[in-house]
Amino acid sequence: MSVSAPISVHELAPLMAAASHGDEQAYAQLYDATSRNVFGIVLHVLRDHSQAEEVTQEVYVEAWRLAKRFDSTQGSVSAWLNTMAHRRAVDRVRSAERRTQREHRHFEFQSDNVAADPAELVVATDEGRRVRRALAQLPEGQRTAVELAYFQGKTQREVAEHLQVPLGTVKTRIRDAMQRLRKQLGEAAS
């Protein structure tokens, strides 16, 4: 069995071009040439080997899916993959932080409401109804994006992937939805 020479940085762009046309062998070579560095970046951010493996796999699935969008005039394949890896890892950290904060708030809420004042419970229930009515009035795309982001704790990138829409679209939907909710809830309070 012969050992092939390492792939140079200049050979990655043709491999990516071939992969963008469905060449699995080229993509396998690209993975072999870049995965160690991508994994290192992810591990540096996450500091957890198993999570780093998982996120690295997500990076390469996304890279395969987006291979046709890669533009060598915008930068190198390595830079593209490394940027994707860093963003994914940071998103994972932020998602975990939000989940922890949400669980902490839920625990505090449960603890605070053990012997809650009935009047406070009525007000909280009424507020919940107002928010649900306001959410129901949003267009479906905005409502879904808000529910995924705020009630399921997904990052905007995760929402975009779940809905299979561009990240910018998700950001716009959430921003517009929050503006409408502020207006609706503010008018209802008047």
Could you read off the pLDDT tens digit of each residue along the chain, which spans 190 residues? Answer: 334 556 777 789 999 999 999 999 999 999 999 999 999 999 999 999 999 999 999 999 999 999 999 998 889 999 999 999 999 999 999 888 887 787 777 666 665 555 556 666 555 666 777 778 888 888 999 989 988 887 788 888 898 998 999 999 989 998 998 898 888 877 655 4
CATH of domain 116-190: 1.10.10.10
What does pTM read for this prediction? 0.53
Please tell us whether the domain made up of 7-115 is placed in CATH 1.10.1740.10: yes
Q: What residues does each domain of the chain span?
A: 7-115, 116-190
The contacts of residue 75 (CB under 8 Å, 6+ apart) are none
The answer to whether domain 7-115 and domain 116-190 are alike in fold is no
